[in-house]
Structure 1
Amino acid sequence: MPGLIADQYDDLTGAVQQIILSSSESDYLDQLIPLLKNAQASTQVTPLIHALNHVTADREAEIERICNNNHQEFISSVQHLQTVREGTVKLTSEIMELSLSIEASTEKLAEQKKALVDSRGVRQNIDDATQALKDCLEVLRLANQVHDLLGKKNHYAALRALDELQNVHLREVTRYKIAEMIERSVPATHRLIAEAVMTDLNTWLYRIRETSQFLGEVAFYHTEMRRNRQRDRAQQDEYLGSFKLNSAIELVADEGEEFDVLNNDEVQVDFSPLFECMHIHDALGQTDKFRADYAATRRRQKDLLIPQALDLLDEEANGLSSLLEGIAGFAIVEKATMAKTTALRAQPDVDELWDSMCQSAISLISAALPRIDNAEKLLKIKGVIALFIQTMDSWHYSVQALDALLLTLFAKYSELLKKRYSDDLAEVVAEDDYMPMPVPNAAEYNKVLALTWYTPPPSEQADPEAIEYPCILPFSQMYPLVCIDIRNLINQTYLFADDHFRHTSVVDGTLHRDLDDLLVQRVCLALIDRLRSQYPGQVVQILTNLEHFERACTDLEHLLVEARSSTSAAGPITLRATKAFKEAKEHAERRIFELVNSKIDDLIDTAEYDWLSTWVPREVSPYMTELTRYLANIMSSVLVGLPEGVKDTLYFSALAFIGDALLRLPLDEGVVRITRQAARAWVMDAGHLVEFVQGLDEEHGPERLLGGLEELRQMGDLMGLAVEGEGDVFFDSSVRGVRFGRVDKLKGAELLEKVERKGVGGGGGGRSPLLAVGVGTGAEEGGRKGVANTFGDFRDRFGPFGKRDRS
């Protein structure tokens, strides 16, 4: 165990030595930490403490040894220092004595120097007083000169003199009271100069405000002269006519006509007072204050330009012209001021004033617009505004708000035009006599051709001189009157787009819409409403007018394409009115057919056939005579004005309707039996109708019209054969295909069954021919019962052969 403790003590002693030799506290800790970590018990810490105490004792012994060896040398050094201190005290007393001796001699010399300085000062004071008096007199002279120049309105010279006084002469007398007094008066003098120059500027601004309207009038006149020159150039060169006012080409072409709106024979605007005021305030360091005051003054002057209300009902639009001329003059001065000065008027400030004036003018105009009910007056107003826009556009002001105002004006203008022509067209349609229009002479005839879209017949086009007057035109007088209104509407609408109107597509679209509305609502629908008339002649005239209006709409579409003001638009223009007139024409045709067929139906309803009669008539029935007379009348008078195609169709349709109606008479379900005498009467009437058609003039095309009566003619032929007892040939397919090809098999069989055959009495007995052709039930028994049953079956399947449904 002693050996183990000794070894531990030696190890701790080495570690303690390393700790002592450590260069820093961190190294000390680095050496100490492992020892502490290795300590497992308090018994192992104790040797560490003993080791540290041992090292400490060794060091104290070493220090004591060193001190004992050097004690004598330390005592000798202390004695030497005491000797040196005693010598120092002695030298200090000698220096004090020498200083007192030098001080005594210096006081004597100072007294002599003071006497010399006092004598020289008196003489210098006299010289200084003399010079100061001269300097003060010069300063006073300059101060008086400043006020003299100010009184003579030489503001800038006065400012220069005051600046020279303050920065040069006043600095030479700053030690005198007069300098302080004049220095205190300098700001007041500056204010006097600033107020004087502002007074002159306000006078100039007042004159500018009074001149603004005249300046705007001169600018308007110059713009009007530019318009005229551009029109002259457009007449000489079509290419130049495609360029608007203020375009680059127009400006280059007009360079030879130089004109200064601000300096000419009529008006001169001198900006010298403004320049002087700016320069003086700049010299005074009050540029920002002057800029603010000038801007406030111009805003107040702007407000004085705008009236409380505007009267647009003046015939010459003087109130509007005065307002816009004043705004134009004010804005031109602002733009010129900005161009002639630097930093006085900023572009946003000028634009703000311009926008404010424009909005005020637009508000006044918009408020006065509802009272205007005349399109011509509105056109004058638009002309003044357009002149204003073109003038200000040349000064590079924004005119978008004014262009929007023109859109509002155009909407009002087109509304007034539409109302006017709507009333005119309604009156024209209502007052028309619906008779073909007579033309008394060639002048009137040419006038009608020029104003309408009427194309004369080829014969009249080939030789106009061969026309005999008075001549009758196919349409009624409403047609040229409507054409005149339409042309006037087009001209007056595009008149709004002259000079200046950038929304040309709006003009085209509005005109297209208005034309459609007027033609459809006021003309087409009004004519359709009049088709309820019971007079065929009036309906025929309406149909003729509708056909000419349809052609006119087609020509009008081409005219609108050529007159289109928008260069960006392309493609054809289609009017709804074209289709509306076409449909109305078809309606009119149906109405004519309806009237004619109704009359025919009424006449046929008067037919009084006694199908069981035994009396043979010697002449045509009265209803047939009246019917052919009616056909002759409408062909020669009432329907003569119809277009050839419609006329032919109507004739053919009427005859086909008559033939169908006549066929329904003997085939009626109520007719059970027809005597030979009654059959001959019906055949005579049908033959009379065929003869009437055959006797028509060639211009009516009787051969073609007979086609509509072919079934009736063949049925009459068949009935005649039935009366003679030869009706059986109908059932011979080879004969039927040649002679009775248009006769329906069932109708022919029914008619043969009803007509009494020659030599057969009572209408009964005998074998039914219907069974011979295999169209029955197949039974071999004869008599009327089998035939009736057969036709009953067919009626059940295909319906009765009754009268034609008039609906």
Structure 2
Amino acid sequence: MPGLIIADQHDDLTSAVQQIILSSSESDYLDQLIPLLRNAHTQTKVTPLINALNHVSANREAEIERICNTNHQEFISSVQQLQSVREGTVTLTSEIIKLSRSIEASTEKLAEQKKALVDSRGVRQNIDDATQALKDCLEVLRLANQVHDLLGKKNHYAALRALDELQNVHLREVTRYKIAEVIERSVPATQALIAEAVMTDLNTWLYRIRETSQFLGEVAFYHTEMRRARQKRRAENDTHLGTAKLNSPVELVADEAEEFDILNNDEVQVDFSPLFECLHIHDALGQTDKFRADYAATRRRQKDLLVPQTLNLLDEEANALSSLLEGIAGFAIIEKATMAKTEDFRAQTDVDELWDSMCQSAITLISSALHTITNDEALLRIKGVIALFIQTMDSWNYSVLALDALLLTVFAKYSSLLQTRFSDDFAEIVSTDDYMPMPINNADEYTRVLSVSFYTPPQDEETGLEPKPEDLDYPCVLPFSQMYPLVCIDIRNFMNQIYLFSDDYASLRHASIIDTTLQHMLDDLLVTKVIRSLLDRLRSQYPGQIVQILTNLDHFAAACAEIEDLLLSARSAPTGGPLSLRATPAFTDAKEAAEKRIFELVNSKIDDLIETAEYDWLSSYAPQHVSLYMQELTRYLSNIMSSVLLGLPYTIKDMIYYTALQHIAENLLALPLDPAIPRISSEAARAYVMDVGHLVSFVEGLEAADRPEVLLEGLAELREVVDLIGCAARGEGEVFFDQKVVAEGRFGKVDKLRGAELLEKVEGRKEVGGGGGVGAVGSSSSLGLATGGLGAAAGVGGEDGHGKKASTTLGDFRDRFGQFGRRG
């Protein structure tokens, strides 16, 4: 094996030497030599190289010798050349040795440098590893510091994301370092810092929300007012929309074009980002339930801060109440918006519980302060604020039943104050009235009175139309006194102010209550303050005042029908049966009481005048003039007809006159029928007939407008009695018992017992006084007194089927008088 290696090496060196020898230049020689010298085994090959060179040299010398043997000269030249080559070789060998030594030195230096390089590479790797570890740790520290920087900038969610990235990504890359353990232990504390910071921001947001709640409620109220105005305009333009209330489906659809975001507008902006961020962060931290409970507790505390301990309702503008309800509205709107913008965060029961609590607190405050209100206008303002609050919150689907009940409480107080005020007004109007027909000075005054009064002027006889104000002659008088239009004004004002309560908010549940309350209170005012006051004044002894009271009562009774129609048309409730006031029959009863009082006064005066009648029933003197009492009686009738009863309606005036004449007839009939008068002389009968004739002539001489043909019916029996007295005086008294004569209508009004008694008295006188009296009575009978046919045909008075006197009642008169009609 060594021989083979040496042989191989010898062959290599020989080949190399051959190449060196064949090199064309010195540089080529060096180029061939340098690879041999750079070999790692150069030192071991130098000697073989020299040996190879020597061998080559020997071969050359042998070849030269051979050549020289052939060609000496050439050999000598070759030897010289060889010598020269040898010298060059020696020189080259020495240079090679120098170069080898230089290379050896360079190689040692290179080895040292390589060792240094290897050592430096290890250090550098360590430095690189340390640098990378430092970078990783610095990145972790940077992210940790970034979390705190984001917290400082209030980027809580970004801080949480950075912390999550730090914990789940970057810390895993440096788990072999101590810093990873330190930062890992600090993560829960940092999470707590983030949760605390976000809760701090949320509390700040909640505080601002609490401060904004009142303004938010104010904007919501204003928006509701605008919706009211738009709905009112729509109702004016389209009657079909008139019945649509606020928050009804029709109104909501009609108002869709007017979109308005109560939480984001020019006036107020509510940003829920802090809440969303807090909710998201707590969800990421797994603390959603705890956050939900803390948030609910905070809102309950804020709710308690909204409601004051006391409430002042005496402010003219109701600012305290508005502030309270606006704050509650804003709070409740935020709660609804929170429910809508989050999922399963705020429970419906919690929100409803807060709403009910706030409503009950507000209701308690308002109810306890209502007793301080003594002004109905202040209550109307309070009701307006409450109604606006109800309509606003109803649009957010909150229950408003308790607030509806509060409105009823306010309405009860309001109606009570109105009733008290109008009761005083009615009492003052009735007590200060002059009870004289109301004078009118000009057409404007006439128009104003007619516009407020429930009065229709009588139609013109020629045109059949109501007279125009400008066609009347001024000054003029209206039949009622000034109390009537004043009470009518108060009635209208009372109705208007009651319905003002339900103008902008009328719940169907309360409409019937408002209508019923108005009806009962109006009845109470009319009955207790008008009717009773007028009835108390009927004790007056002045017929003119009683007549004016009767006139007023008649107009009030007529006005009740119009008031009922007005109440029916203004009824808030959409349905309901017929409406009738208790005051209507009460006014009718009061009219009858006033009529009776007039009858009493007139009949009392008639009784006083007839009591002055002094007949000497056995007198032989025939008077030439009507008795003074009869003249006074007809003068009195003329006066009350032309003055006292002038302002009464025709039906009432005729009825009073008719009843007065009936009363006169009864009293005059009672004179000759007095049991104390046994007989009647012809002269006395003549005086009696003359007085009755004067009365009849007076009635017949009345104007046609006073219906004398009707009034004469009240004297029918008296006239037939006078006719009977004439027949008795002529000895024809048996005609009274002739059924044929009676069937023809004569003596139909005369009571059988009375007629028999009179026949007995007058016929007895015939035996005493002879025939002179007969002619006188007969003559008197022929003066138109025996005209009982009209009375008999009309069926006034007379007997019933049992021979008893059938008296004429006021109801009978009304029935009979209606058959004749009335002009104008």
Partner of 2:660: 654
Report what 1:378 is aligned to: 379
- Equivalent residues of 2:679, 2:764 under 8 A apart: no
Counting only pairs closer than 5 Å after superposition, residues 31-42 of structure 1 correspond to structure 2 as: none
Partner in structure 2 of residue 528 of structure 1: 535
Return the offset for 1:128: 14
Structure 1 position 698 matched with structure 2 position 704:
yes
Residues in 1 aligned to 2:765 and 2:328: alpha-carbon distance in whole angstroms:
109
SS of the counterpart of 1:378? helix
Contact (CA 8 Å) 2:380, 2:501: kept in 1 or not?
Answer: yes
Q: Provide the residue aligned with 1:793 in structure 2.
A: none
Q: Corresponding residue for 1:310?
A: 311
1:149–1:157: 8 Å Cα contact kept in structure 2?
yes
Q: Select which of 579, 588, 591 maps to 1:582.
A: 588
Partner AA of 1:467 in structure 2: L
- Pick from 514, 517, 527: which aligns with 1:507? 514
Q: Corresponding residue for 1:495?
A: 500
> Quick one: distance in 2 between partners of 1:710 and 1:260?
88
Separation in 2, partners of 1:217, 1:669? 93
Partner of 1:603: 609
> Quick one: structure 1 residues 434 and 259, their matched pair in 2 at CA, closer, same or farther if it must change by over 3 Å?
same
Residue of 709, 718, 728 corresponding to 2:724: 718
Q: CA deviation at 1:171?
A: 4.6
Q: What corresponds to 1:364 in structure 2?
A: 365
Q: Which of 541, 548, 559 is 1:552 aligned to?
A: 559
Match of 2:550 in 1: 543
1:760 equivalent in structure 2 = 767
- Aligned AA (1:474): P
Q: 3-state DSSP class of the match of 1:761?
A: helix
**Using a 3 Å threshold, how does the CA distance of structure 1 residues 729 and 166 change in structure 2: closer, same or farther?**
closer
CA shift digits 1:434-465 (9 cap, x unpaired): 11111111111111221111111111844414
Distance 1:417 1:674, change over 3 A: same
Alignment pair present for 1:486 and 2:486: no
Contact 2:751 / 2:804 at 8 angstroms: preserved in 1? no
Matched with 1:751 is 758
Q: 1:612 to 1:306 in 2, by over 3 A?
A: same
Q: How does 1:140-289 map to 2 (within 5 A)?
A: 140-171=141-172, 178-289=179-290
Q: Corresponding residue for 1:431?
A: 432
| Contact 1:676–1:756 (Cα < 8 Å) also in 2 | no
**Contact 1:722/1:757 (CA < 8 Å) preserved in 2?**
no
> How far apart, CA to CA, are the structure 2 residues paired with 1:729 and 1:389?
89
Indicate if the aligned counterparts of 1:659 and 1:708 stay in contact, CA closer than 8 A: yes
Equivalent in the alignment of 1:339: 340
Partners of 2:732 and 2:136 lie apart in 1 by 161
Residue pair 2:214, 2:326 contacting (<8 A) in 1 also? yes
- Partners in 2 of 1:328 and 1:369 — Cα distance? 21
- Deviation sequence 1:280-331 (CA, Å, 0-9, x none): 1111111111111111111111111111111111111111111111111111
Could you say if the C-alpha distance between residues 159 and 686 of structure 1 is closer, same or farther in structure 2, counting changes exceeding 3 Å? Answer: same
In structure 2, do the counterparts of structure 1 residues 615 and 249 end up closer, same or farther at CA, with 3 Å as the change threshold? same
Q: Give the distance between the partners of 2:577 and 2:258, measured in 1 at CA.
A: 41
1:149-193 deviations in Å (ceiling 9; x for gaps):
323333222222222333344455557655444333222222111
Q: Which amino acid aligns with 1:660?
A: E
The residue aligned with 1:418 is 419
1:477 maps to a residue whose letter is Q
Task: Please name the residue that 1:474 is paired with.
Answer: 479
CA distance in 2: counterparts of 1:732 and 1:385, whole angstroms: 87
CA contact (8 A) 1:593 1:654 kept: yes
> Retained in 1: the 8 A contact 2:419–2:525?
yes
CA contact 2:480–2:551 (8 Å) conserved in 1:
yes
What is the aligned partner in structure 2 of residue 685 from structure 1?
691
Amino acid at match of 2:667: A
Q: Could you tell me whether the CA contact under 8 Å between 2:195 and 2:282 is conserved in 1? A: yes
Confirm or deny: 8 A CA contact 2:729 2:766 kept in the other structure. no
Aligned 8 A contact 1:725 1:757 in 2: no
- Mapped to 2, the partners of 1:414 and 1:682 lie a distance apart of 65
Deviations 1:206-262 (A, max 9, x none): 111111111111221222122222222222222222212222222222222222121
Q: Deviations over 1:724-762 (max 9, x none)?
A: 555455455555666534333332222232236566339
Task: Tell which deviates more after alignment, 133-142 or 574-583.
Answer: 133-142
- Counterpart in the other structure of 1:50: none
Rate the CA distance shift 1:532–1:146 in 2: closer, same or farther, 3 A. same
8 Å CA contact 1:539–1:588 kept in 2: the answer is: yes
Q: 1:329 to 1:704 in 2, by over 3 A?
A: closer
TM normalised by structure 1 equals 0.75
Q: 1:137 to 1:720 in 2, by over 3 A?
A: closer
Residues 313 and 369 in structure 2, CA contact (< 8 A), matched pair in contact too: yes
CA contact (8 A) 1:403 1:501 kept: no
- After superposition, the C-alpha distances for 1:379-433 in whole angstroms (9 at most, x for unaligned) are 1111111112222222222222212211111111111111111111111111111
Cα distance in 2 for partners of 1:281, 1:462 equals 84
Aligned-residue offset at 1:701:
2.4
The alpha-carbon deviation at position 139 of structure 1 amounts to: 4.2
* Deviation (angstroms), 1:364: 1.1
Corresponding residue of 1:91:
none
- Among 606, 614, 623, the alignment partner of 1:617 is 623
Percent of aligned positions that are identical: 73
Which deviates further from its counterpart, 189-198 or 177-186? Answer: 177-186
Bigger mean CA offset, 371-380 vs 729-738: 729-738
Letter in 1 for 2:391: Q
Question: For the structure 1 residues 162 and 603, does the alpha-carbon distance in structure 2 shift closer, same or farther, using more than 3 Å as the test?
Answer: same
Q: Which moved more, 1:711-720 or 1:575-584?
A: 711-720
**Cα deviation, residue 468, structure 1:** 1.0
- Alignment partner, residue 295 of structure 1: 296
Is 1:756–1:762's contact at 8 Å kept on the other side of the alignment? no
2:647 maps to which residue?
Answer: 641
Bigger radius of gyration, 1 or 2?
Answer: 2
Runs of at least 5 residues in structure 1 that lack an aligned partner in the other structure: 1-125, 764-796, 801-807
Distance of aligned partners of 1:253 and 1:730 in 2 relative to their CA distance in 1, 3 Å threshold: closer
Q: In the superposition, relative to structure 1, how do residues 662 and 284 fare at CA in structure 2: closer, same or farther (>3 Å)?
A: same
What displacement does 1:278 show? 1.3
* Compared CA separation, residues 686 and 329, structure 1 to 2 (3 A): same
Of stretches 436-445 and 739-748 in structure 1, the one that deviates more from structure 2 is 739-748
Q: Closer, same or farther in 2 for the Cα pair 1:499/1:727, shift >3 Å? A: closer
CA distance in 2, matches of 1:736, 1:325: 91
Call closer, same or farther: CA 1:280–1:685 in 2, change over 3 Å: same
Alignment-derived partner of residue 123 in structure 1: none
Cα distance in 2 between the residues matched to 1:172 and 1:798: 137
Uncovered stretches (5+) of structure 2, i.e. residues with no partner: 1-125, 771-801, 806-824
Q: Distance in 2 between matches of 1:295 and 1:734?
A: 108
CA distance in 1, matches of 2:737, 2:251: 92
Q: CA RMSD in A?
A: 2.7
Shift of 1:553: 0.8
How far did 1:672 drift? 2.0
Aligned residue number for residue 681 of structure 2: 675
**Aligned AA for 1:513?**
H
Does the CA-based 8 Å contact 1:439-1:445 persist in structure 2? yes
Contact kept? 1:435, 1:538, Cα under 8 Å: yes
